[in-house]
C-alpha cells in the first residue's frame, strides 16, 4: 500500500536545496567537514565520466553521494550505544575503519540507516535507481557488506562509485593521496571492479588538485549535472533532524507551529510569518554535530559539553552559506539560542541585533523545549512552561511582546493532512507509534497504554506493514511526513 503524500505542503523547498540541507546534516553527523558529501559527489561524477558511464548514471551517483549519510540521525541512538560518541565514532570509522570488535554488531544500525535514507529519496521524488542505491549503500561487491550481504550485480554501480569516491576524499584529506590510492588498490575486486584502478591512478591527483584550486565550485559542478526536480516538504528535513534523539520526535514541527502562530498574532506580514515557520523547521540542523551522550545528559551539562552545545547555532549559520533558497531561513534559525540580554549563544547578540524573526524563534523554541521530556527529566506542562517563559521575559531574556503573543493569543489550528492519510493507521496504532517514536521500549509503551507487550508487538507489525517499512525510525519518519503523528 503506498505511503500517503507528505503532510505540510505549505512549506515547500526546491529538491536541490533539500538535498544540500540533508547533506550538510549528514556531514555533521559523520564528524566530517561540511563539504565532504559535495566533494564526494564531485569525485564520483568525475570517476563515472572517466569510465564512460552515461550521463543519467552520473546524475544518480551525484544524488546518492549527497544523500549517503541522510540516515545518520535515524540510527544515532544505536551507534551511540555501540561507540559511546556517535559523532566522533563515525569520524574514526571513516578514517580508520570499523573496530574489529564491533564489526558483527552494526547490522541493525545499518538496516535503519538504509531504510530511512531510501525513504528520504522516495519522499523527495528522486529516481528509483537513487532510492535503490541508498537502500544498499553499505553493501560491497564481494558480499561482505551490510545489512544483507548482497554481492555482485545486486550491489548497484552507484554504490560502488560512491564508496570509492568517499574513501578517496576522506583518506587523501586525512592522510595523503598515496595512502588513499594504496587503500583503494587493496580493495580492488572486493569493493569495486579491479579494472577501475588504472583510471583512478591516472586521474585522482588532477581531480583533487581541481578541488583544491576551486573549492567553491564543488556545489555548482555537482548540482549542474543533476536533473531538475520538483519541490519537497521542508518538514522532511525537520523530521530527519529530530530522528537523532527519540525524545525530540516532532519537536521542530511544534516549534514551527508555535512560532508561526506567534508571528500571526504579532501582525507580521505573511511573507515574514512564512519565513519564520520555515526557519523554525530547520533550526536544529547544527544539532547533528553534538554526540547523543551530551544531549541525553539528565542534568546541567559541564563546561566541555556546554562548549559543544554552544556551537549548534554556529553550524546552523554555516548552513546558511550553502543552501540556496534556504539561506535566509538558516540565518534566522541560527538565532534560536540567542537571548535579548546577550546571555545566549553563539554570537551573544542582544537587543536590536536580534531581529523580530530571531526573537520569535528563540521564544518558541525554548517554550517548546521546556514542554519536552528527556532522559531523566520530565517536560513541564504548558501552564508551567508559560509561567517560566513569562518570568524569563520580565528578566529581559525574551521580548515581552513576543512572549505575550506566543502564550496569550489563540492557538493556530493545525493544518489537516491529505484525505487519503486518514484511516491508514488506527487510533491505537498511532498511539503505540507515538510512544515508540519517543524512545519507549515495547514494555514501557505497554505499561503506559495499559496493554500487553505482545499486543504492542502486534500493533507494530501492522504499522510496519501499512507503512511499508521494517524499523521504528523509518516508521516514525513516514508517519511524520504523512501527517499521522
In this structure, are 110 and 161 located in the same domain?
A: yes
- Mean predicted confidence (pLDDT) in 60-71: 96
Cell of 123: 519522499
In this structure, are 109 and 132 located in the same domain?
A: yes
- Mean predicted confidence (pLDDT) in 185-194: 94
- The answer to whether 130 and 64 are in contact (CB under 8 A) is yes
Task: Say whether pLDDT at 224 is over 50.
Answer: no
Could you say which of 367, 383, 408 is where a domain stops? 408
In this structure, are 85 and 210 located in the same domain?
A: yes
- What percent of the chain is predicted at pLDDT more than 90? 64
pLDDT score of 414: 35
CA 183 – CA 313 distance, rounded (Å): 37
Average pLDDT, the chain: 89
Model confidence at 74, in pLDDT bands (50, 70, 90)? Answer: very high
In this structure, are 403 and 426 located in the same domain?
A: no
State the pTM of this model. 0.87
In this structure, are 215 and 311 located in the same domain?
A: no
CATH number of domain containing 473: 1.10.10.10
- What percent of the chain is predicted at pLDDT more than 70? 92
Could you say which of 380, 408, 436 is where a domain stops? 408
Model confidence at 219, in pLDDT bands (50, 70, 90)? Answer: low
pLDDT score of 249: 95
Could you say which of 223, 258, 275 is where a domain stops? 223
Cα dist. 24→118, 119, 316, 471 in Å? 17, 18, 9, 24
- Mean predicted confidence (pLDDT) in 144-164: 96
- Mean predicted confidence (pLDDT) in 277-291: 96
In this structure, are 461 and 390 located in the same domain?
A: no
Q: Is the dihedral of CA 220, 32, 63, 75 positive or negative?
A: negative
Model confidence at 222, in pLDDT bands (50, 70, 90)? Answer: low
In this structure, are 440 and 297 located in the same domain?
A: no
In this structure, are 200 and 291 located in the same domain?
A: no
Model confidence at 118, in pLDDT bands (50, 70, 90)? Answer: very high
More confident site: 260 or 220: 260
> Is 413 inside any structural domain?
no
Task: Say whether pLDDT at 269 is over 70.
Answer: yes
> Is 240 inside any structural domain?
no
pLDDT score of 220: 58
User: Whole-angstrom distance between the N-terminal and C-terminal Cα of the chain?
Assistant: 19
Total domains, the chain: 3
Domain enclosing residue 385, as ranges: 245-408
In this structure, are 329 and 470 located in the same domain?
A: no
Task: Say whether pLDDT at 2 is over 50.
Answer: no
> Is 150 inside any structural domain?
yes
> Is 414 inside any structural domain?
no
Model confidence at 213, in pLDDT bands (50, 70, 90)? Answer: confident
CA 397 to chain centroid: 30
pLDDT score of 7: 38
In this structure, are 425 and 341 located in the same domain?
A: no
Model confidence at 221, in pLDDT bands (50, 70, 90)? Answer: low
pLDDT score of 301: 84
Task: Say whether pLDDT at 276 is over 80.
Answer: yes
pLDDT score of 465: 86
Model confidence at 5, in pLDDT bands (50, 70, 90)? Answer: very low
- Mean predicted confidence (pLDDT) in 115-132: 95
pLDDT score of 4: 36
- Mean predicted confidence (pLDDT) in 462-485: 87
- Mean predicted confidence (pLDDT) in 331-337: 96
Task: Say whether pLDDT at 147 is over 90.
Answer: yes
Of 159-173, 223-237, 318-332, the range with the highest mean pLDDT is 159-173
pLDDT digits (tens, 9 = 90+) for 339-394: 999 999 889 898 989 999 999 999 999 999 999 999 888 999 999 999 999 999 98
> Is 356 inside any structural domain?
yes
pLDDT score of 324: 81
CB-based contacts of 458, cutoff 8 Å, min separation 6: none
In this structure, are 269 and 379 located in the same domain?
A: yes
pLDDT score of 285: 95
Task: Say whether pLDDT at 325 is over 50.
Answer: yes
> Is 239 inside any structural domain?
no
Model confidence at 485, in pLDDT bands (50, 70, 90)? Answer: confident
- Mean predicted confidence (pLDDT) in 438-460: 87
In this structure, are 363 and 453 located in the same domain?
A: no
> Is 156 inside any structural domain?
yes
CATH number of domain containing 32: 1.10.3210.10
> Is 233 inside any structural domain?
no
pLDDT score of 97: 83
Task: Say whether pLDDT at 329 is over 60.
Answer: yes
Amino acid at each position: 500500500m503506498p505511503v500517503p503524500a507528505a503532510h505540510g505542503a505549505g512549506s515547500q523547498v526546491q529538491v536541490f536545496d533539500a538535498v544540500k540541507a540533508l547533506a550538510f546534516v549528514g556531514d555533521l553527523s559523520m564528524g566530517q567537514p561540511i563539504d565532504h558529501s559535495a566533494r564526494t559527489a564531485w569525485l564520483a561524477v568525475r570517476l563515472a565520466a572517466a569510465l564512460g558511464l552515461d550521463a543519467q548514471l552520473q546524475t544518480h551517483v551525484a544524488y546518492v553521494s549527497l544523500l549517503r549519510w541522510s540516515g545518520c540521525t535515524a540510527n544515532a541512538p544505536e551507534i551511540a550505544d555501540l561507540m559511546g560518541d556517535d559523532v566522533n565514532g563515525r569520524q574514526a570509522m571513516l578514517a580508520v575503519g570499523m573496530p574489529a570488535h564491533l564489526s558483527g554488531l552494526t547490522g541493525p544500525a545499518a538496516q535503519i540507516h538504509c531504510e530511512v535514507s531510501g525513504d528520504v529519496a522516495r519522499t523527495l521524488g528522486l529516481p528509483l535507481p537513487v532510492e535503490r542505491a541508498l537502500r544498499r549503500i553499505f553493501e560491497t561487491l564481494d558480499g561482505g557488506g551490510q545489512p544483507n550481504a548482497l554481492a555482485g550485480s545486486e550491489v548497484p554501480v552507484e554504490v560502488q562509485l560512491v564508496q570509492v569516491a568517499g574513501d578517496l576524499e576522506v583518506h587523501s584529506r586525512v592522510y595523503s593521496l598515496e595512502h588513499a590510492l594504496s587503500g583503494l588498490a587493496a580493495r580492488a575486486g572486493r569493493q569495486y571492479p579491479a579494472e577501475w584502478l588504472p583510471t583512478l591512478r591516472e586521474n585522482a591527483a588532477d581531480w583533487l588538485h581541481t578541488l583544491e584550486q576551486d573549492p567553491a565550485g564543488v556545489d555548482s559542478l555537482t548540482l549542474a549535472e543533476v536533473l531538475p526536480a520538483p519541490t519537497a516538504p521542508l518538514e522532511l528535513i525537520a523530521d530527519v533532524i529530530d530522528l537523532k534523539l527519540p525524545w525530540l520526535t516532532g519537536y521542530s514541527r511544534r516549534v514551527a507551529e508555535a512560532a508561526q502562530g506567534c508571528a500571526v498574532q504579532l501582525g507580521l506580514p505573511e511573507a515574514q510569518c512564512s519565513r519564520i515557520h520555515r526557519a523554525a523547521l530547520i533550526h536544529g540542523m547544527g544539532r547533528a554535530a553534538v554526540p547523543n551522550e551530551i544531549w541525553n545528559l539528565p542534568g546541567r551539562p559541564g563546561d566541555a559539553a556546554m562548549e559543544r552545545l554552544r556551537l549548534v547555532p554556529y553550524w546552523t549559520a554555516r548552513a546558511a552559506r550553502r543552501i540556496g533558497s534556504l539561506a535566509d531561513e538558516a540565518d534566522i534559525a541560527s538565532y534560536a539560542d540567542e537571548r535579548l540580554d546577550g546571555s545566549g549563544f553563539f554570537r551573544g547578540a542582544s537587543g536590536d541585533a536580534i531581529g523580530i524573526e530571531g526573537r520569535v524563534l528563540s521564544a518558541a523554541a525554548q517554550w517548546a523545549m521546556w514542554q519536552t521530556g528527556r532522559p531523566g527529566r520530565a517536560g513541564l506542562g504548558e501552564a508551567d512552561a508559560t509561567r517560566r517563559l513569562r518570568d524569563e521575559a520580565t528578566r529581559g531574556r525574551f521580548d515581552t511582546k513576543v512572549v505575550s503573543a506566543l502564550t496569550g493569543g489563540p492557538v493556530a489550528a493545525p493544518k489537516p493532512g491529505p484525505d487519503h492519510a486518514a484511516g491508514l493507521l488506527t487510533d491505537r496504532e498511532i498511539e503505540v507509534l507515538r510512544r515508540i517514536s519517543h524512545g519507549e521500549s515495547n514494555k514501557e509503551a505497554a505499561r503506559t497504554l495499559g496493554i500487553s507487550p505482545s499486543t504492542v508487538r502486534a500493533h507494530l507489525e501492522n504499522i510496519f506493514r501499512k507503512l511499508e517499512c521494517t524499523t521504528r525510525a523509518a516508521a516514525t519518519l513516514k508517519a511524520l511526513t504523512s501527517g499521522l503523528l
